[in-house]
Structure 1
Amino acid sequence: MYLLILWLPLLGSIFSGFLGRFVGHKGSSIISIVCVFFSMALSLAAFYEVGLMGVNHYITLTSWINVGILKVSWSFLFDSLTVTMLVVVTVISSLVHLYSLEYMQNDPHLPRFMAFLEIFTFFMLVLVTADNLVQMFVGWEGVGLASYLLINFWFTRLAANQSAIKALVVNRIGDFGLSLGILTTFYIFQSVDYFTVFSLAPLFTNYFLNFAGFYFSGLTLIGIFLFIGAVGKSAQLGLHTWLPDAMEGPTPVSALIHAATMVTAGVFLLIRFSPLIEFSSTVLNILIVFGSLTAFFAGMSGVFQNDLKRVIAYSTCSQLGYMIFSCGISCYNVSMFHLINHAFFKALLFLSAGAVIHALANEQDMRRMGSLIKFLPLTYSLMLIGSLALAGFPFLTGFYSKDFILEITQITLNKNLQNIHGTFACWLGNLSVFFTAFYSFRLIYLTFINSVNTTRKNILKSHEPSLLMLIPLIILALGSIFIGYLGKDLFIGLGTDFWKSAILILPTNSYFIEAEWLNVNLKWLPFTLSIFGIILATIVNKSKVHTYLYTIFYRKICFLISKKWYFDVLYNRFFVYPILNFGYTISFKNLDRGFIELIGPYGLSKIVIIWSKLFSRLQTGQLNHYLFFIVLGVCLLLMITCNQMQLVVFYSVLIFFI
């Protein structure tokens, strides 16, 4: 049963990809849907058996690498953390598959699209079920490859090509960091198996590596390398630039990448390695600082975006920041709970945005929408539910996890007032709540409520999505309302033992218990900031107040933020252009076309020409000259191969005949 959860998406991908032209749209669609829905059903059964009944499973198929002390096998670990991720991945993937049948029905390459979606799901399942770092790295690279294929699905578009290459290249940096983490782990622990590494981690807290005369903590070094991998895959500040550009792919791809697969891989990696990261306070502080800055930066950037999907993409980046700095304050279970909740309302937002784009003939600019509440009332209701859950409105799914993270930051602020990480976690996290509420309702106003700003033709043709698109949206809306309430006691309730040994939190780092006794007035702070953001979005969009703010300073700030703080420009100027210039002037002109060609093909050809001219002069056409060279050659050969006595005999005979 457990292995079928992985093999079914792989089989569906193979059949859809290689037999798609024979079975057609309907055949590939049926195969894909059946495989992924059966995988979802088995994941739910595994969640019941492993998560609720507490029966962990460990399956070994065969040996894979056996070189010296490096022993890696194809093994699969099913514990509470794994089965929770299995449910999230397969449920969201199944709904996205169902949604794609209608959304992509007119695309001639639907079988290829379904094959890519399923291979994406398969590699994510390999990543979360692996029991060693090498096998996990296979899934890690696989989701990167699948994301490239899906972002570049419409490969005739230049923007899609560029975005896919950008996503692949930026993630190479994170993948390089993760590979260094794997190598360092093997060097220190002589193993890449999870159980071996986690059981030995407490014994290596005082282990230091000597590099160039400097001593580095082994666990800290591994944690930093793993964090670099998470920065690339989960789009944290510095390597976040690929995520907004990934919107060039079809909308179902965006929903799958942002809700359940690629960007959650980095957060899952940090949660999985909690038994190792917990013993390094340096890594925890780095997680807090980067996560807080990412949440704040992405929230502020989302305020000034005009593309419907880019606003939601920046909100994903911001929410991933919450998950990362929640890991930094040792609340891995709360981070995982927020990952589960975020999957439902983020998939709802993306698929609802896809319904709007579908209704308006692929229009994505919010400034060219408006008044769609009259034509798409059901889509408006669904997107409103997703926006309220994202903003942390009370008693919706996002409220139970995001507000709890912010309550924990209040504890860390009180305990670590003199430390930068306590301040970062509290203030930047709470300020991000305001920006999240503002851009969520700015999206609602510009898309649905404000005056219409599109053509009459588009408005008259707009319509609610069909049943195949509505069913996933309604299921996700129900999840965005109820999942947080239904899961809070199971995942983060006081005294729950759901996670068991899958997550380790040291008693000295445990803050979430104290959040229950936090001052009630402080617990109202996130809700107050959310309401203030909603009110400000209403004032700005329903009145002329922004005309009074239209000063030079305001315009420069808005321009700076709308340009994404010039991260892309700075990267191009200080990294991309110098590397390209170096590649052309040094590598290509001086080395490839210069030094290497002079001593290689070009130089050899010159030598051959010179020697050929020299030997051509020896071709006199006279037999006695040729005979002389033959005898000379035989003499030289004998001098090399024969001893002195044999040479004397040979020359005596030769002289006699001459």
Structure 2
Amino acid sequence: FVYEAWTWMSVGSFSPGFTFYLDGLSTVMMLVITGVGFLIHLYATGYMADDPSFARFFSYMNLFVAAMLMLVLGDNLVLLYLGWEGVGLCSYLLIGFWYTNPANGYAARKAFVVTRIGDTSMAIGLFLLFAQLGTLNIQDLMHAAEGEWEVGSGYAVAAALLLLGGAVGKSAQLPLQTWLPDAMAGPTPISALIHAATMVTAGVYLIARTHILFELAPSVQLLVAWIGLATLLISGFTAMTQSDIKRVLAYSTVSQIGYMFLGLGVGAWSASVFHLMTHAFFKALLFLASGTVILSLHHEQNIFKMGALRKVLPVSFASFLIGSLALTAFPFTSGYFSKDEILLGALAVEGVGTWLWLGGLIGAFFTGIYTFRLFFIVFFGESNVKHHVDKEVGGWHMNGPLIILMILALVGGFIHVPVEAVFSHGEAHDEHHVSGLIHGIMIAVPLIGIGISYLFFMSKTFSVEKLMASGMAQSLHKFWLGGWGFDTLYNTLFVNPFLFLARINRKDLIDRFYALIVALSQAANGMIVRTQTGSLRWYALTLVAGLVFIVTLGALL
């Protein structure tokens, strides 16, 4: 279905329309954005009820959803890019919503600048596509690329690489993943919206929508898989070391988006979109449940200052349990079906498929560990809460969305995703037969991770303190806790040199030239001011002198 509202602009052969395109892929995305987005909005009416900037918050939220809808419904890459930049702007506004705290402003600027790197890559890609194919209408562009470019051609590789740069930035994949954990500075409903229904899924959608370009560049498509695998492993290790409840969930999002990139890279397009949908259910559930916990503990986010909350906050406990099971791909939860399809797609790839599959399994193993580490520490063991737990937090407008999301996290895997027609000729890996042993391994690995987490953090059969006793373990923990040193590296290579040059050029030659003009103007003003004495005798004298000067000058000339 195509609806053309108007022609946006017309410059020569460039005439992008304000046109919306609806097919199976955009329908799935639209339902996720509006459905999960509505539940988050409803929850936020309770979470933000006492905030003095309540109206400003919801104006940003609605703008965020509108921009994301424009992104997924745009018929051409220009309109898609408008929505793309719109979600970037809204993320900046919402991450820095509580701007009186300087740390929140820093996090917002960091997200804005890092994602702009990817956006620049994408913009260059759009210029290249239009210059070579003469259109930015998505459907016409895909047909033109298939007709004019051979598989592996230089233009196809360049275009796919540039679009991949944009996707990596928006979806927080290596090497531009550093902004997403810091984005937790915003209110918790915003964290849920960014992670579940809007911004971080934009990169996945872009690659899925332009999948034909990536099929024409197999090397770039395989690079997508390796980026996803590396990201899911690095973020999984990092999540195990975090103590902030929202940062654990943030790194889990980076990891799950990594699985989606892995699926896209191996041609399991439908599986990646399926996982995008199921992930929206259980990740929104986990973030909103964490928001209830945070409010109940008077905005405490350190998981080691929680504990034994299962009886005090039963709805949050049930939400975390179901969300954690789905996140770890526990059998017959929503995450189980979608993640398995991605891993099977990886296994079917010739050559490197086994390695991609093993890497995905390792990621699933660590997902079980860090997810239930969080669950056991927060809801079991001894209470480390220093303040009174507010049991009254919630109400139907906060608990209602949690209950609906719990149901979706359980049964979402049985929902059919109608995207076969979109990827009809591109999914070579969907139909293949694997042994029962492979299925058994994929079920057992995350369960083993959950079991290890139980032994360390629930039954205390093994001691974390003893495990961390060695210097090597402590160094490794510090390295993982710092996000594998990416922030330190980028500060050293880019941020600090820029600040150094900015300080040197704070008063550069151009500024000094402008300062000279200001100084001369001020000096002239001072001289003129001195002539204004207020004396009538002085004014008469200067008038006569001026008149004599003019008459004399006239006589001489």
Distance 1:451 1:606 in 2: 71
> C-alpha displacement at 1:524, in angstroms?
2.1
Preserved CA contact (<8 Å) 1:127 1:135: yes
From the superposition, tell whether residues 188 and 553 of structure 1 become closer, same or farther in structure 2 (CA, over 3 Å).
Answer: same
From the superposition, tell whether residues 575 and 340 of structure 1 become closer, same or farther in structure 2 (CA, over 3 Å).
Answer: same
Code of the aligned partner of 1:503: F
Structure 1, gaps ≥5 residues long: 1-56, 209-215, 492-497, 613-619, 634-658
Cα deviation, 1:470-505, whole Å, max 9, x if unaligned, reads 110010000001010232xx55xxxxxx431x3354
- Using the size of structure 1 for normalisation, the TM-score is 0.78
Q: Is residue 2:435 matched to residue 1:519? A: yes
Please name the residue that 1:458 is paired with: 388
Distance 1:627 1:138 in 2: 68
> C-alpha displacement at 1:328, in angstroms?
0.8
Please name the residue that 2:85 is paired with: 141
Please name the residue that 1:44 is paired with: none
Q: Is residue 2:489 matched to residue 1:570? A: yes
> C-alpha displacement at 1:546, in angstroms?
2.4
From the superposition, tell whether residues 592 and 425 of structure 1 become closer, same or farther in structure 2 (CA, over 3 Å).
Answer: farther
Q: Is residue 2:125 matched to residue 1:181? A: yes
From the superposition, tell whether residues 602 and 376 of structure 1 become closer, same or farther in structure 2 (CA, over 3 Å).
Answer: closer
Please name the residue that 2:341 is paired with: 404
Cα deviation, 1:30-60, whole Å, max 9, x if unaligned, reads xxxxxxxxxxxxxxxxxxxxxxxxxxx1111
1:589 is aligned, of 483, 507, 526, to: 507
Cα deviation, 1:318-344, whole Å, max 9, x if unaligned, reads 000111121111111111010011000
Please name the residue that 2:420 is paired with: 499
* Mean CA deviation greater in 68-77 or 104-113: 104-113
Aligned to 1:565, what secondary structure does the other structure show? Answer: helix
Code of the aligned partner of 1:160: N
1:291 is aligned, of 228, 236, 259, to: 228
Q: Is residue 2:207 matched to residue 1:270? A: yes
From the superposition, tell whether residues 592 and 103 of structure 1 become closer, same or farther in structure 2 (CA, over 3 Å).
Answer: same
**Identical counterparts, % of pairs:** 36
Please name the residue that 2:264 is paired with: 327
Q: Is residue 2:360 matched to residue 1:416? A: no
From the superposition, tell whether residues 406 and 606 of structure 1 become closer, same or farther in structure 2 (CA, over 3 Å).
Answer: same
Cα deviation, 1:264-306, whole Å, max 9, x if unaligned, reads 1111011000122211112102101111111111111101001
> C-alpha displacement at 1:427, in angstroms?
2.6
> C-alpha displacement at 1:374, in angstroms?
2.0
Please name the residue that 1:53 is paired with: none
Aligned to 1:70, what secondary structure does the other structure show? Answer: coil
Cα deviation, 1:61-93, whole Å, max 9, x if unaligned, reads 111110111111111111111111111000011
Q: Is residue 2:47 matched to residue 1:103? A: yes
Trace 1:61-76 onto structure 2 (pairs within 5 A).
61-76=5-20
Preserved CA contact (<8 Å) 2:204 2:260: yes
From the superposition, tell whether residues 341 and 632 of structure 1 become closer, same or farther in structure 2 (CA, over 3 Å).
Answer: farther
> C-alpha displacement at 1:534, in angstroms?
0.8
Code of the aligned partner of 1:306: S
2:398 is aligned, of 466, 469, 474, to: 469
> C-alpha displacement at 1:382, in angstroms?
1.5
1:314 is aligned, of 247, 251, 256, to: 251
From the superposition, tell whether residues 629 and 67 of structure 1 become closer, same or farther in structure 2 (CA, over 3 Å).
Answer: farther
Trace 1:30-429 onto structure 2 (pairs within 5 A).
57-206=1-150, 217-412=154-349, 415-417=350-352, 422=353, 425-429=356-360
Distance 2:231 2:151 in 1: 31
Aligned residues: 538
Distance 1:267 1:246 in 2: 19
Distance 1:94 1:316 in 2: 20
Code of the aligned partner of 1:147: S
Code of the aligned partner of 2:307: G
From the superposition, tell whether residues 528 and 625 of structure 1 become closer, same or farther in structure 2 (CA, over 3 Å).
Answer: same
Code of the aligned partner of 2:453: A
Aligned to 1:76, what secondary structure does the other structure show? Answer: strand
From the superposition, tell whether residues 622 and 358 of structure 1 become closer, same or farther in structure 2 (CA, over 3 Å).
Answer: closer
Distance 1:184 1:528 in 2: 47
From the superposition, tell whether residues 625 and 72 of structure 1 become closer, same or farther in structure 2 (CA, over 3 Å).
Answer: same
- Greater Cα radius of gyration, structure 1 or 2: 1
Q: Is residue 2:428 matched to residue 1:510? A: yes
Please name the residue that 2:466 is paired with: 548
Distance 1:624 1:154 in 2: 69
Preserved CA contact (<8 Å) 1:407 1:523: no
Distance 2:160 2:424 in 1: 15
> C-alpha displacement at 1:608, in angstroms?
9.3
Aligned to 1:88, what secondary structure does the other structure show? Answer: helix
Distance 2:441 2:330 in 1: 12
From the superposition, tell whether residues 425 and 154 of structure 1 become closer, same or farther in structure 2 (CA, over 3 Å).
Answer: same
Code of the aligned partner of 1:245: D
Preserved CA contact (<8 Å) 2:262 2:346: no
From the superposition, tell whether residues 632 and 242 of structure 1 become closer, same or farther in structure 2 (CA, over 3 Å).
Answer: farther
Please name the residue that 2:533 is paired with: none
> C-alpha displacement at 1:623, in angstroms?
8.7
Aligned to 1:74, what secondary structure does the other structure show? Answer: strand
Distance 1:622 1:162 in 2: 62
Code of the aligned partner of 2:251: Y
Aligned to 1:458, what secondary structure does the other structure show? Answer: coil
> C-alpha displacement at 1:174, in angstroms?
1.1
Please name the residue that 2:367 is paired with: 436
Distance 2:103 2:195 in 1: 19
Please name the residue that 1:579 is paired with: 498
> C-alpha displacement at 1:424, in angstroms?
5.0
Preserved CA contact (<8 Å) 1:288 1:424: no
Code of the aligned partner of 2:415: L
Preserved CA contact (<8 Å) 1:185 1:222: yes
Code of the aligned partner of 1:469: M
Preserved CA contact (<8 Å) 2:262 2:342: no
Code of the aligned partner of 1:447: V
Code of the aligned partner of 1:465: G
Aligned to 2:16, what secondary structure does the other structure show? Answer: strand
Aligned to 1:101, what secondary structure does the other structure show? Answer: helix
Q: Is residue 2:478 matched to residue 1:559? A: yes
> C-alpha displacement at 1:624, in angstroms?
9.6
Distance 1:591 1:183 in 2: 36
- Using the size of structure 2 for normalisation, the TM-score is 0.91
Distance 1:605 1:104 in 2: 53
Q: Is residue 2:426 matched to residue 1:486? A: no
From the superposition, tell whether residues 223 and 629 of structure 1 become closer, same or farther in structure 2 (CA, over 3 Å).
Answer: farther
Code of the aligned partner of 1:499: E
Distance 2:546 2:225 in 1: 90
> C-alpha displacement at 1:147, in angstroms?
1.2
Distance 1:172 1:272 in 2: 21
Preserved CA contact (<8 Å) 1:274 1:504: no
